[in-house]
Structure 1
Amino acid sequence: MDTIKVILVEDHAIFRTGLKTILDDEPAIEIAGETGKGLESISMAVALRPDIIIMDIGLPDLDGIESSRRILDAAPECRVIMLSMHNEPEIVCAALDAGAHGYLLKDCAAEELLEGIATVLRGETFISRHVAGAVVRTLLTQSKPASPASPKLSPRETQILAMLTQGKNNKEIAFELAISIKTVETHRQQLTRKLNLYSLADLTRYAIRTGLISP
Structure 2
Amino acid sequence: MERLEPLNKLTLLLVDDHAIVRQGLRYYLNTQPDLQVVGEAANGQEAVELAKQLQPDVVLMDLIMPNMNGIEATGVLRELFPDMKVLVLTTFSDKDYVLAAIKAGAAGYLLKDADPERIAEAIRQAHRGLPQLDPAVAGQLMSHLAAPAKPDSSAPERLTEREKEVLGLIAQGCSNKEIAAALGITEKTVKTHVSSVLAKLGLADRTQAALYAVKHGFA
Is the structural similarity TM-score above 0.5? yes
How many residues were matched structurally? 143
In structure 2, give the amino acid aligned to 1:38: G
Deviations 1:61-114 (A, max 9, x none): 111011000011001111001000001011111111110001110111111101
In structure 1, give the amino acid aligned to 2:122: G
Among 30, 43, 49, the residue aligned to 2:36: 30
Q: Could you tell me how far apart the structure 2 residues matched to 1:47 and 1:75 are? A: 12
Q: Tell me, what secondary structure is at the counterpart of 1:6?
A: strand
Structure 1 position 140, deviation (Å): 3.9
Q: Tell me, what secondary structure is at the counterpart of 2:129?
A: coil
Match in the other structure for 2:49: 43
Structure 1 unaligned residues grouped into runs of 5+: 145-215
Among 45, 53, 57, the residue aligned to 2:59: 53
Among 78, 88, 95, the residue aligned to 1:82: 88
Deviations 1:140-166 (A, max 9, x none): 44769xxxxxxxxxxxxxxxxxxxxxx
Does 2:129 correspond to 1:123? Answer: yes
In structure 2, give the amino acid aligned to 1:35: A
Report sequence identity in percent: 35
Among 134, 139, 143, the residue aligned to 2:145: 139
Match in the other structure for 1:98: 104
CA RMSD of aligned residues (A): 1.6
Alignment of 1:167-186 (within 5 A): none
Match in the other structure for 1:70: 76
Distance 1:45 1:142, change over 3 A: farther
What TM-score results when the alignment is normalised by the length of structure 1? Answer: 0.63
Match in the other structure for 2:188: none
Q: Could you tell me how far apart the structure 2 residues matched to 1:140 and 1:98 are? A: 22
In structure 2, give the amino acid aligned to 1:114: A
